[in-house]
Amino acid sequence: MTQRLMERRQILTFLGTLAAAGFVLPRMAFANWDKVAFEAKTMDEALKALGAGTPATSGDVQIVASDIAENGAVVPIQAISKLPNTERIAILVDKNPSMLAASFDLTPETIPEVTARIKMGQTSNVVVLVKADGKFYAASKEIKVTLGGCGG
Amino acid sequence: MGSPMKIRASVKDGVTEIKVLMGHEMETGQRKDANGAVIPAWFINEVTAKLDGKMVMQAQWGPSISKNPYLAFKVKGGKAGDKVSVTWVDNKGDTRTDEAAVT
Q: What CATH number does residue B93 fall under?
A: 2.60.40.10
Q: Is A4 helix (H, G, I), strand (E, B) or coil?
A: helix
- How many residues are there in chain B? 103
Contact B71 A103 (CB under 8 A): no
| Mean pLDDT within A113-135 | 96
Range of the domain at B68: 6-101
Amino acid A29: pLDDT: 43
Nearest chain B residue to A121 by CA: give it. B64
Put the strands of the sheet holding A110-118 in their side by side order.
Answer: A61-64, A75-81, A110-118, B70-76, B15-23, B3-12
pLDDT in tens, A22-49: 444 444 444 578 999 999 989 999 999 9
Angstroms from B51 CA to nearest CA on chain A: 10
**pLDDT, block means (10 residues), chain B with 103 residues:** 92 97 95 94 96 96 97 96 97 96 97
Where exactly are the structural domains of chain A?
Answer: 27-145
Distance in angstroms (rounded) separating the CA atoms of residues B101 and B30 = 38
Considering only A13-17, A57-61, A119-123, B94-98, which range has the smallest mean pLDDT? A13-17
pLDDT band at A10 (very low <50, low <70, confident <90, very high): low
Distance in angstroms (rounded) separating the CA atoms of residues A112 and A109 = 9
ipTM of the complex: 0.95
The percentage of residues in chain A with a pLDDT greater than 70, rounded to a whole number, is: 76
Amino acid A7: pLDDT: 63
> What's domain A27-145's architecture?
Sandwich (2.60)
Distance in angstroms (rounded) separating the CA atoms of residues B92 and B70 = 20
In a domain, B1, yes or no: no
Amino acid A32: pLDDT: 75
| Mean pLDDT within A108-112 | 96
Q: Does B35 touch chain A (CB under 8 A)?
A: no
Q: Are B14 and B59 in contact (CB under 8 A)?
A: no
Q: How many domains are contained in chain B?
A: 1
| Mean pLDDT within A105-124 | 96
Contact B62 A117 (CB under 8 A): no
Distance in angstroms (rounded) separating the CA atoms of residues A137 and A40 = 19
Q: Are A109 and B56 in contact (CB under 8 A)?
A: yes
Q: Are B78 and B11 in contact (CB under 8 A)?
A: yes
Q: Are B29 and B60 in contact (CB under 8 A)?
A: no
User: How far, in Å, are A1, A14, B10, B103 from residue A102 at the CA level?
Assistant: 42, 33, 24, 28
Considering only A26-35, A48-57, A62-71, A73-82, which range has the smallest mean pLDDT? A26-35
